[in-house]
Structure 1
Amino acid sequence: MSFKKALLAATVLSLPVAAQAQTMPVTGLYVGAGVGANYNQDRVQRLAGESAVVRSDVGVAAVGAVGWGFGNGIRAEVEANFRWNAVNRLSGSGSRAPNAGGNIYQYGVMGNAYYDFYNLGLNLGGFNITPYVGAGAGYVWSDFNRVRASDATGGIVANSRDGRFAYQAIVGAAVGMDALLPGLSLTTEYRFMGTLEPSVTFVGTGDLAGQRSVFKAENYNHSVLVGLRYAFNTPAPAPVVAPAPAPAPAPARTFLVFFDWDRADLTDRARQIIAEAATNARTVSSTRIEVSGHADRTGAAAYNQRLSVRRAEAVAAELVRRGINRNEITIQGFGFDRPLVPTAQGVREPQNRRVEIVLR
């Protein structure tokens, strides 16, 4: 498995679906951990023109970290890591040695720096997604535990540990789980980790007893991890507040009843309006009802004064029929002195032929 293929695969796995959400950058202290699979590339051991190849099965990788987010997408952390791979083949000088086995353990400490692409607004199924990239450097020990190859006559075995400078590149994505716990994220990532060549000492057994060889071994690892990260300073999402119900409209306190020209009798529509006024008078606990009659500017002033009073009395009588006490009603007539629509003398204006009911 080449580095380019592994990087491409991890990148594809890390790409989220675009949507319209936006995450907040990590701010302050956080902790994280992850576990997954580790592929340790064939280790080519070299010494004085001789070489050996150690091949391993896919094994296990685990990391744990404590870090700090600066609130602008940049994070820094200290990481402890562990990798294990079982050896399944050891070959040298073009031939494969029989009965190969053993384990290779790697463990160390790294300092990492990351950048979170928190402002891309990516979302999948309602969960915010933040891609990130990172790089790290530190110190890792390679522990060869009974790495061996043998036949009936003898063989070689390595019980050797050596620490070297280590480096790594990281690409991943964090899926926000704030609905479960503010600050909690599910992480998935690919890591390439390498070290400077550690020294491995092989000791002969059986017919090869007494022989001793020290090799320099390549060390490149490809890991795919799934984990959790918790940021301590993440604010809880704002609660969803139901909109306040719209206040009920205030009961009307003024009603207009219109009349035909030179008439004081009530129309069906006028009786409906008076009924609404009577109902609202009880709703608002009215203590006084003013009924004011008006006329348009046709005819003599004295005649229109009397007509406006008759109109007010007709409305008051209908209010009493609707259950209003007569002593709560005051009646007055203004003739054509207070028009709703100003007009010249002699103009018939329907809106001026009215009675105003005012609830006090």
Structure 2
Amino acid sequence: MRKLLVTAVLAAASGMPAVAQAQGAPAQPGVYLGVEGGLNWMFGTQIREKYNSPYTGWGLGGTIGYDFVGPRIEVEGLYRQNNTGQFYRGAAINGQISQVSVMANLLYDFRSFGSVIPYIGAGAGVAFVDSFYQLNSTVFAFQGILGIGYEFAPGFRINLDGRYYGTTNPSFLGSTWSNNNVSLMATIQVKFGAAAPPPPPPPAPVAPPSFMVFFDWDRANLSQQALQTIGQAAAAYKAKGSARITATGHTDTSGPEAYNMALSLRRANAVKDALVRNGVPANVITVIGRGEQGLLVQTADGVREPQNRRVEIVIQ
């Protein structure tokens, strides 16, 4: 049994790096506390020839450990009690075998299945075994663990595992007896220090409503399409309720620079007048002329580019 346990643990450990690469469940390292309890069966136990196993009992204890997200280390204290059915008047412990173990456990979580987490582990430590008249046999203890966990909420987890637990032979009235146990344990764990989930990203900045009106070369008069666009801008202003409007005029690079500055301002004022005719108060409109500055399409000097002959209407 012990050789089989060691072989299984070593085989699992040799496969850990490959499994670690496949882990996909998000998790955070941290300290955890656990409370555990379950059933314990003693087998292969023979104190005297007529006191044969198995004995059925229970176990109750707790753990404190650190989760590295994958590997875990923990210290476990566990009390086991198995009733023997043999009663002796005046005996220190009557009708039962009690064990207190303090174990250091090394476990590994296979985090490839989301919230469902199979795990394997092994532990070693010291046990204090009581049997009938002989109290407090201090022995070496060891165990192998195979189980499955479920993270039902951030930082909260339940486990169910099966264990083989054994010790070196306790003594009874000058003789020794074998001590083999199989346990079925349930655990609830709470992890501390796990990072809080990141806050949701801030909403993307919303650009203010904008509209663009285009002009013929060397002209500041509004086409039918331009008037439709200005009507849409006026409707957007009214829907907003309270806003400011900026009308910024531009020209292409043909013609003298000073002339183009004045032309861009005439275009912006033409748009303002159309907005006012569509019901927008004149005092909420700011008019700006930028001439050849702020080209929509970069060109050399002297180029007639239709997309640069425009007024940009921004509502904010």
> What TM-score range do you get, normalising by the shorter chain?
0.5 to 0.7
CA contact (8 A) 1:291 1:329 kept: no
Q: Take 1:135 and 1:332, find their aligned partners in 2: how far apart are those partners?
A: 82
**Matched AA of 2:106:** Y
Q: Take 1:197 and 1:333, find their aligned partners in 2: how far apart are those partners?
A: 99
Q: CA deviation at 1:134?
A: 0.6
Please give the TM-score of this superposition, normalised by the length of structure 1: 0.58
Match of 1:219 in 2: 178
Please give the TM-score of this superposition, normalised by the length of structure 2: 0.64
**Structure 1 SS opposite 2:29:** coil
Q: CA deviation at 1:79?
A: 3.1
* Structure with the bigger percentage of strand: 1
Q: CA deviation at 1:106?
A: 1.8
Q: CA deviation at 1:34?
A: 2.9
Q: Take 1:4 and 1:44, find their aligned partners in 2: how far apart are those partners?
A: 24
Change (3 A) 1:8 1:356: closer
**Structure 2 SS opposite 1:261:** coil
Match of 2:215 in 1: 259
Match of 1:63 in 2: 59
Match of 2:131 in 1: 142
Q: Take 1:25 and 1:292, find their aligned partners in 2: how far apart are those partners?
A: 61
- Structure 1 residue 112 corresponds to structure 2 residue 85: no
**Structure 2 SS opposite 1:315:** helix
Q: Which runs of 5+ in 2 are unaligned?
A: 87-93
**Structure 2 SS opposite 1:270:** helix
CA contact (8 A) 2:162 2:183 kept: yes
Selected match of 1:249 from 197, 207, 222: 207
| Alignment RMSD (CA, Å) | 5.0
Match of 1:40 in 2: 44
Change (3 A) 1:245 1:54: same
**Structure 2 SS opposite 1:122:** coil
State the number of aligned residues: 295
Q: Take 1:339 and 1:228, find their aligned partners in 2: how far apart are those partners?
A: 68
Q: Take 1:129 and 1:251, find their aligned partners in 2: how far apart are those partners?
A: 54
**Structure 2 SS opposite 1:238:** coil
Deviation digits for residues 69-98 of structure 1 (CA, Å, limit 9, x no counterpart): 3677443344322124579xxxxxxxxxxx
**Structure 1 SS opposite 2:192:** coil
Q: Take 1:121 and 1:114, find their aligned partners in 2: how far apart are those partners?
A: 16
Match of 1:131 in 2: 120
1:122-201 alignment runs, 5 A limit: 122-124=111-113, 126-143=115-132, 161-163=133-135, 164-173=137-146, 175-176=148-149, 179=152, 182=155, 184-196=157-169, 198-199=171-172
CA contact (8 A) 1:264 1:314 kept: yes
Q: Take 1:278 and 1:309, find their aligned partners in 2: how far apart are those partners?
A: 20
CA contact (8 A) 2:127 2:167 kept: no
**Matched AA of 1:140:** V
Q: Take 1:270 and 1:168, find their aligned partners in 2: how far apart are those partners?
A: 89
CA contact (8 A) 2:37 2:187 kept: yes
Q: Take 1:243 and 1:307, find their aligned partners in 2: how far apart are those partners?
A: 44
Percent identity (aligned):
27
Q: CA deviation at 1:107?
A: 1.2
Q: CA deviation at 1:315?
A: 3.4
Match of 1:80 in 2: 79
**Structure 2 SS opposite 1:260:** coil
**Structure 1 SS opposite 2:145:** strand
Change (3 A) 1:261 1:248: closer
Q: Which runs of 5+ in 1 are unaligned?
A: 46-51, 88-102, 144-160, 201-214
**Matched AA of 2:134:** D
Which structure's CA Rg is the greater one?
Answer: 1
